[in-house]
Amino acid sequence: MFLPFSWILGFPEWTPFNSNPLDSLFQGLVGACGISVLCSFLRVYHFIQTCSDSESETESKQRSSSPGNPLNGSWRTVVQFWSLVVILSLVGSRVSSLIVLEFSLRAVSAWASAGLDASSRGPDLLLIQSQFSLGCGLSCTLVFLHQGAPHSSLSLFLAAALSWALASVSHSLWSHVARLYPLHSTERYCGKCITLLTSQHAILATLPRAVVLAFAIATVASTTTVYDHFLSQKDALKFWTPLALCYTMLVVYMQEDQNRQTGTEALLHTAALRLGALLVLMLTVGDWSDVLHVLITFLGEAVCLLPSQDLLKAALKLLLVINAEM
């Protein structure tokens, strides 16, 4: 199952990688870069929104030196990024596909439960929860697109280089905004800050479209992967149909419960509950590597959500303001 390059590097047969470890590393790097870009633009949007709502220049300066400043937590950002690279590299395409399909189902359930008021439910809250699922979606999409390709390692290297460049640009923008936006937005001599000041709402309008497009492509790749690995066997549908229905009912229940309890603890509880259900599913129909990969996803969700407490609090605060104005 491994290319000759794998055993030359000394990786044993029981390693959790499902393909060439170098290819898995590139796939994990692309996924981690996608999460980094998403978080950087979300932080830019919420920081600008906070500065716009401030009533004095003193408050803005205090916010510019707040814990949200990337200069105060640069080492945490580096540790989080490379932890996600390792975790996404270890998670196999089978479990990644299931996570993508589960989040897509959850997103559709959230949109259906919101109904005509979907725009007032705070799309950034769902974007924050999609971090690890987005990384899994990018990884399994690359696996699907490069399956059987003669020069897959070179293509994945180019994709990783492009993703690294995009992540660097987005993080540089966030660093610039966190340090200088309160000053530049009042002095009006910085092109970046003036552009963000005049088009700040376009960020939250563009991000969901980009994420939806990424998940749409990932859903196609995930459906194909799930069919090839789980549903292609004889009588597999008879066994999977009741499990899928039960899991769908659980997702709908968790979505309704989350609508009643909008807090960071509720979001973490929901993530643990749905991954626990996925673990039970893999114990039923998967093999030992699938169970191991699901356990790794617990760590991946924690690495994404725990450092995003500032984003969750800002999104919940913005959601309360929107609901109060309606």
Say what the pLDDT of residue 312 is: 82
Q: What's the first-to-final CA gap in the chain, in angstroms?
A: 57
From its phi and psi, is residue 122 left (phi > 0), alpha (psi between -120 and 50) or beta?
Answer: left
> Would the pTM of this model clear 0.75, i.e. be above it?
yes
| Side-chain half-sphere exposure of 58, counting CA atoms within 13 A | 0
The span from the CA of 10 to the CA of 268, in Å, is 38
Buried/exposed code over 113-136 (b: 16+ C-beta within 10 A; e: otherwise): ebeeeeeebbbbbbbbbbbbbbbb
Residue 11 lies in a domain: no
Burial class (CB in 10 A: 0-12, 13-18, 19+), 160: buried
Domain that holds residue 299: 18-325
Residue 280 lies in a domain: yes
pLDDT digit string, tens, across residues 191-215: 788 888 777 778 878 888 999 999 9
Non-local (6+) Cβ contacts of 149 within 8 A are: 155
Say what the pLDDT of residue 86 is: 95
Number of domains in the chain: 1
Say what the pLDDT of residue 262 is: 55
The span from the CA of 20 to the CA of 11, in Å, is 10
Residue 1 lies in a domain: no
Cα distances from 97 to residues 38, 62, 197, 224, 251, in angstroms, run 20, 43, 38, 9, 16
Residue 278 lies in a domain: yes
Burial class (CB in 10 A: 0-12, 13-18, 19+), 83: middle
Query: Could you tell me how many residues make up the chain?
Result: 326
Cα distances from 224 to residues 140, 155, 206, 220, 265, in angstroms, run 10, 21, 28, 6, 34
Say what the pLDDT of residue 303 is: 92
Residue 2 lies in a domain: no
Say what the pLDDT of residue 135 is: 95
Say what the pLDDT of residue 162 is: 96
Residue 27 lies in a domain: yes
CA dihedral sign, ordered 40, 44, 46, 47: positive
Residue 5 lies in a domain: no
| Residues 28/86, Cβ–Cβ less than 8 Å | yes
The span from the CA of 136 to the CA of 34, in Å, is 10
Three-point CA angle 115, 309, 175, nearest 5°? 105
Say what the pLDDT of residue 119 is: 43
Q: Which residues of the chain have pLDDT under 50?
A: 1-15, 55-68, 70-71, 116-120
CA 9 to chain centroid: 30
Residue 4 lies in a domain: no
Residue 92 burial (CB count, 10 A): 24
The span from the CA of 22 to the CA of 162, in Å, is 17
3 state DSSP class of 92:
coil
Buried/exposed code over 297-320 (b: 16+ C-beta within 10 A; e: otherwise): bbbbbbbbbebbebbbebbbebbe
